[in-house]
Amino acid sequence: MSDKPVSAGPAGYATIADVERAAARLKGVAHRTPVLTSRTANALAGASFYFKAENLQRTGAFKFRGAYNAIAALDAAQRKGGVVTYSSGNHAQAIACAGGLLGVPVTVVMPHDAPAIKVAATRGYGGEVVSYDRFSESREAIGETLARERGLTLIPPYDHDDVLAGQGTATLELLEEVGPLDRLYVCLGGGGLLAGGLLAAGRLAPDCAVIGVEPEAGNDGQQSLRKGEVVTIPVPHTIADGAMTPYLGARTFPIIRERVHDIVTVSDAALVAAMRFFAQRMKLIVEPTGCLAAAAAFAAGDEITGKRVGVILSGGNVDLTRFAALIGAD
């Protein structure tokens, strides 16, 4: 390790100071979500789990944190002009909700196959929805064109310093509440939640091994970490619709590369087993993507025996019919 302070992170990227600024902006606006425990889970694994329930966050996922922080950081002219984003759903709802709270008009580029509940919620918050085909069109290009033509400010779902700093407040709160952990499992799509969480852990729990978790069908993060540069893969087909990202962000990857302990993958079947566990044992609805971190922690075996293990449950937005179909099929 260099002689930099442990919390510094790579030069030129977001820092713990950005996460702390985000925490101040979010105070009294975002829910301070509960940290839940389960004697059953602890007994099964021989470890002490601390589940940060971001499925109970405003709009049903941690994405509210980054979205609100990024819009709150805009100047008056940018706010008046409005914002645009692209998202598989949760970021869209978060931006629409945050825009509504801050009086900023919102346009959202969404895949036409996004879960209906997410599209409806985005419209319900007052967002204008523009659809695209996620397997053939580039959402980035559509978002950028709309930004240019309509004078909107683009707020991407993860590759943005204020977004990732906002996401980091989930880990900040978890560590403030339960103290240092031995391990922390965080799901990984484009890397906003993980990068922000690494900054918070670097300050509050420098010895904590933070593990990123992605779907088996799309291990671009794992490949990128091994290679030392961002690797792009075809859009993965997985039930974890919030982690169908084909590459990590240019703003998130350097932080992840420097600080993450490891990146692991889990199967869709393991996600379903975790969804069932949370519904049955903890009375929680957690969406498939929201179970990534837990599924990896539950599969960690000896690695976590006797350890204090944090798990971020990232979201709970899933159509009830889909939820029933997933947990009902044995």
Ligand X SMILES: *Cc1c(COP(=O)(O)O)cnc(C)c1O
Tell me how far CA of residue 131 lies from CA of 81, 95, 110, 137, 235, in angstroms.
21, 16, 5, 10, 17
Contact between 314 and ligand X per CB under 6 A: yes
Site string for ligand X, 124-163 (x = CB under 6 A): ---------------------------------xx-----
Choices 168-176, 186-194, 261-269, 302-310; region in contact with ligand X by CB under 6 A: 186-194
Nearest to 309 by CA among 317, 321, 301: 301
Question: CA 253, CA 261: separation in Å to the nearest integer?
Answer: 13
Three-class secondary structure of residue 70 per DSSP: helix
Contacts of 82 (CB under 8 A, 6+ apart): 99, 104, 105, 106, 107, 150, 151, 152, 153
The Cα–Cα gap between 276 and 283 comes to 10
Residues forming a β-bridge with 153 = 83
Name which of residues 282 to 301 contact ligand X (CB under 6 A).
287, 289-290
Q: Is 86 helix (H, G, I), strand (E, B) or coil?
A: strand
User: Least CB distance from residue 90 to ligand X, whole Å?
Assistant: 3
127 is catalytic: no
227 noted as active-site residue: no
Candidate ranges 73-81, 101-109, 187-195, 257-265; the one touching ligand X (CB under 6 A): 187-195
Which of the residues 33 through 52 are near ligand X (CB under 6 A)? none
Which residue, chain included where needed, has tokens 């419209």? 123
Q: Which of residues 87-106 bind ligand X (CB under 6 A)?
A: 90
For residue 96, count CB atoms less than 10 angstroms from its CB and return exposed for 0-12, middle for 13-18, buried for 19 or more.
buried
Please, which residue, 191 or 202, has the CB nearer to ligand X? 191
The single residue among 97, 193, 271, 326 that binds ligand X, judged by CB under 6 A, is 193
Among 86, 315, 318, 326, binds ligand X (CB under 6 A): 315
What is the closest distance, in whole angstroms, from the C-beta atom of residue 61 to ligand X in the complex? 4
| 218 touches ligand X (CB under 6 A) | no
Residue for token pair 């852990």: 201
Query: What is the end-to-end Cα distance of the chain in Å, rounded?
Result: 48
3-state helix, strand, coil split of the chain in percent (to 5) is: 50, 15, 35
Known active-site residue 214: yes
Binding mask 227-246 for ligand X (x = CB under 6 A): ---------------xx-x-
* Residue in 87, 88, 162, 189 annotated catalytic: 88
CB of 144 to ligand X, least distance (A): 19
Please say if 63 is a catalytic residue.
Answer: yes
Q: What's the alpha-carbon Rg for the chain, to the nearest Å?
A: 18
Angle at 167 between CA 164 and CA 170, to 5 degrees: 150
Cβ-closest residue to ligand X? Answer: 315
**Residue 177 annotated to the active site:** no
| 189 counts as binding ligand X under rule CB under 6 A | yes
Q: Can you give the binding site for ligand X, defined by CB under 6 A? A: 61, 63, 90, 157-158, 167, 187-194, 242-243, 245, 287, 289-290, 314-315
List active site positions. Answer: 63, 88, 214, 218, 220, 314
